[in-house]
Amino acid sequence: MENGQKRKPSVWEALIPVVALVAILSFSILKYEASPHIPLVISAVIAALMAMRVGLKWEEIEKGIIDTIGMSMQAIIILMIIGTVIGAWILSGTVPAMIYYGLKVLSPGIFLVATLIICSIVSLATGSSWTTAGTVGIALIGVGQGLGIPLPMVAGAVVSGAYFGDKMSPLSDTTNLAPAMAGATLFDHVRHMIFTTGPSYLIALVVYAILGAKFAGRQLDVAQINQILDALSKQFNISLWLLIPPIVVIVMVVKKVPAIPGLLSGTILGAIFAAIFQNKGFGDILSVLNDGYVSETGFKIVDDLLTRGGLQSMMYTVSLILCAMTFGGIMEKAGFLEVLAEKLLSFSDSVGALVTATIFSSIFTNIVAGDQYLSIVIPGRMFKKAFDKKGLAPKNLSRCLEDAGTLTSPLVPWNTCGAFMMGALGVHPFAYLPYAVLNYVNPFVSIFYGFTGITMEKVKPEETATVNA
């Protein structure tokens, strides 16, 4: 601050907005089942008052808000485009075709395991959890519903698979951001994550196999499946050609075409296919791209499944992200997050305690700041020196940042990632949280390694000399 009045916040000053956020959100959501938007705004007002207390002027607070919202603008644009993609792909028959063929191929007993693997492959190839959930994830939700599997289970498996690739793919932005924050190289980082992600993934496979076994012995409701297939075939011209749009989008992402033009191409292809295969006019296409598709088969399961999409369907989520970013921007600008992270360092005498502090700081930032990138950047910046002092290789820190920051982001409803998954899959994050096995097991595996020392590699002698120089 130019006039020198800004001071470092005390721990209690930093905690007040956090306590207020937790209290207001909990009370509003649990008692009144309210949306989190206004509680976030109220918490942002409290954070702003505390920021002024430590010397920030309103202009600085406003700049912090705008800068943080700016960080999320790409995500917001992608979210809006995904809304048009969903609408276009339903209108064109692409999503109905994926559901139609999925119901013919997959069985209940293997469905959850197959969902995890399918989403893992797509996300690993694309590096994008959002693309994965917004394309094959939506189709798998429909298949699961047709097979009689609870939607939260299916959504949990989709999220686990989608975030496996978001974490492990060299094409992923977070996979590149984490080593940049920690001072590690990209491929050292990816290889080092195998040690925590591998066991977590195996645990997830076992859990989904056990959950799926409960459905394997159940007699398949062939009549209901046939009703769904019949409703789909009557409302749409089903063809294998309709699988081209998602294939094209996945190939474009693999070829490193930027996400926005890549996803826009999916919308355009969907619109073209709607005209060719479903004989839809330009007015119908424009209406669905904006307002979403409304299914009127008369069969409730199909109508509930396919009535979705459109740019406007994402506005709830966009406004939620803006509210969360407002609160997170104030917390970051005032230095509240930094103070709280420093406090955690005071309890980090051992390697295990340091890893635990890093993990919970990333989770805490996901909850309070509402942004996946901040959950990597802030703890990465705060704990780098502590890892260096312990003689730990930078890839240990980068692994911790992804084990917690990347993987827990879709479990928070007001986080950009949680808000997106809720908008795309139509399932609340708190509903699928118990079934997003990879996402909550991985942080505990990382903490276990921290206390046991397993794979916690030390800095090489030549690297130590560089750090101490």
Q: What is the DSSP string of 404-453?
A: IIIHHGGGSTTSHHHHHHHHHH-S-HHHHGGG-HHHHHHHHHHHHHHHH-
Q: 292, 286 in Cβ contact below 8 A? A: no
Position 469 scores a pLDDT of 42
Say if residue 150 is in the same domain as residue 270: yes
The whole-number pLDDT of residue 287 equals 97
Query: Which among 69, 66, 71 has a CA at the least distance from the CA of 324?
Result: 69
Tell me: do 399 and 439 sit in the same domain.
yes
Residue 126 lies in a domain: yes
Tokens of 409: 């982001």
Domain range enclosing 347: 11-72+316-468
Cα 86 from Cα 156, distance rounded (Å) = 20
**Are 215 and 286 part of one and the same domain?**
yes
Q: For residue 84, what pLDDT is reported?
A: 92
Q: How far apart are CA 378 and CA 338, in angstroms?
A: 7
The tokens describing 263, both together, are 């996803």
Asked if the structure places residue 272 within a domain, the reply is yes
Contacts 24+ apart (CB under 8 A), 215-218: 215/108, 215/109, 215/111, 215/147, 215/148, 215/149, 216/107, 216/108, 216/109, 216/110, 217/109, 218/108, 218/148
Given this model, what pLDDT does residue 332 score?
A: 85
Residues 302 and 334 in one domain: no
C-alpha torsion 319→328→72→196, nearest 10:
-120
Is residue 2, in this structure, part of any structural domain at all?
no
Phi-psi region of 237 (alpha: psi -120 to 50; beta: other; left: phi over 0): beta
Rounded Cα–Cα distance for residues 275 and 334 (Å):
52
The answer to whether 401 and 362 are in contact (CB under 8 A) is: yes
Last-in-domain residue among 314, 342, 367: 314
**What local confidence, expressed as pLDDT, does residue 49 receive?**
96
Residues 48 and 104 in one domain: no
223 & 78 share domain = yes
* Count of alpha carbons within 13 angstroms of residue 386, beta-carbon side: 24
Separation of alpha carbons 256 and 241, rounded Å = 24
Residue 426, domain member (yes or no): yes
- d(C-alpha 216, C-alpha 111), whole Å: 9
Whether residue 211 is contained in a domain is answered as yes
3-class secondary-structure state, position 348: coil
Predicted pLDDT of residue 154: 95
* 138 lies in the same domain as 186: yes
Packed helices 151-168 and 416-425: angle between N→C axes, nearest 10 degrees: 130
Strand partners, 293: 308
Residue 196 sits in the same domain as residue 328: no
Shared-domain flag, residues 386 and 445: yes
pLDDT in tens, 409-437: 999 998 889 988 998 898 999 999 999 99
Q: How many domains does the chain have?
A: 2
| 34 and 115 share one domain | no
Residue whose C-alpha is closest to residue 327's, from 8, 22, 93: 22
**Residue-level pLDDT at 465:** 44
pLDDT for position 253: 67
Domain boundary among 314, 330, 364: 314
In a domain, 89, yes or no: yes
pLDDT at 1: 41
Q: Are residues 57 and 86 in the same domain?
A: no
- In a shared domain, residues 426 and 410: yes
Q: What is the pLDDT of residues 43-79, one digit of tens each?
A: 999 999 999 999 999 999 999 999 888 877 877 887 7
**CA separation for the pair 247, 238 (Å, rounded):** 16
Which regions in the chain score pLDDT beneath 70?
1-4, 125-126, 171, 217-222, 253-254, 348, 461-469
141 part of a folded domain: yes
Q: Which of 389, 367, 370, 374 is nearest to 338 (CA)?
A: 374
Q: Among 314, 334, 361, which residue terminates a domain?
A: 314
| Torsion angle defined by CA atoms of residues 284, 262, 94 and 97, in that order, rounded to the nearest 10 degrees | -170
